[in-house]
Amino acid sequence: MALDEADHRLLVGTRSPPKLLVLDTDTGKTLASLDAPGDADDIFYDAEARRIYVSGGAGYIGVFEQKDTDHYKPLGEVSTAEGARTSLFVPETRKLYLAVPNYGAQQAEVRVYKAAHGG
């Protein structure tokens, strides 16, 4: 989960089915339900860019845009690696760190992604 405190929005990732839910923290109402990466682990709200990042073990990071407080849309998917779902977004550096597990021939590593500024 992640919190957009200023807009009173709780961002929740579900695994079955894989969704990003946006809830109004004042009313509890679900405002949006969007397809998200399977096996989601971490969700981050990027207030500067008004974007949401969802890392999931399905092999990609889902990127979503907050159009306004009640409307959200998928922006795209960033390909990662199977099982790579644990991540950390650092707003001050605009970087998302993703842990890639040792899986078969895949070597363990930490990948670093630079987040774009909103526009």
What pLDDT digit, counting tens, does each position of 28-86 carry?
999 999 999 999 999 999 999 999 999 999 999 999 999 999 999 999 999 999 999 99
| 71-80 pLDDT, tens digit each | 999 999 999 9
Residue 119 lies inside a defined structural domain of this protein: no
Residue 90 lies inside a defined structural domain of this protein: yes
What is the b/e burial string over 56-93, where b = at least 16 CB atoms within 10 angstroms of the residue's CB? bbbbbbbbbbbeeeeebeeeebbebbebbbebebeeee
Query: What CATH number does residue 20 fall under?
Result: 2.130.10.10
What is the percent of the chain where pLDDT is above 90? Answer: 92
Residue 27 lies inside a defined structural domain of this protein: yes
Residue 39 lies inside a defined structural domain of this protein: yes
The boundaries of the domain holding residue 9 are 2-114
Q: How far apart are CA 66 and CA 32, in angstroms?
A: 11
- 28 burial (CB, 10 Å; 0-12 / 13-18 / 19+) is exposed
Residue 51 lies inside a defined structural domain of this protein: yes
Is the bond into 18 cis (omega within 30 degrees of 0)? Answer: no
Number of domains in the chain: 1
